[in-house]
Amino acid sequence: IGQDIAPYGQDLDEGLDLPTLLEEIASNFDFTWIRMMYLYPEGITDKLLAVVKR
C-alpha cells in the first residue's frame, strides 16, 4: 500500500504513469471496478480523471 499512488511512475524512465497503468489493467482484465486508495488531490491530473471516467 502506498502513501500516495498519484505520482506512480515518476521515478521510472519508461514513461509509465498511473493513468497508463490503469488503462493497461482495464484493457487486459475484466474488472467491474478498480479501487484506488491514497491519492492526494494535487496529484490528480486531467489525464487521470479521464481514465477514471471511462
Domain ranges of the chain: 1-54
From first to last of the 54 residues of the chain, give the pLDDT tens digit. Answer: 668 988 888 888 777 899 999 999 989 998 888 888 888 998 899 999 999 888
Q: What is the pTM of this model?
A: 0.76
Q: Long-range contacts of range 39-47, CB-CB < 8 Å, 24 or more positions apart?
A: 39/4, 39/5, 39/6, 40/4, 40/6, 42/6, 43/4, 43/6, 43/7, 44/6, 45/6, 45/19, 47/17, 47/19
> What is the predicted pLDDT for the residue at 32?
83
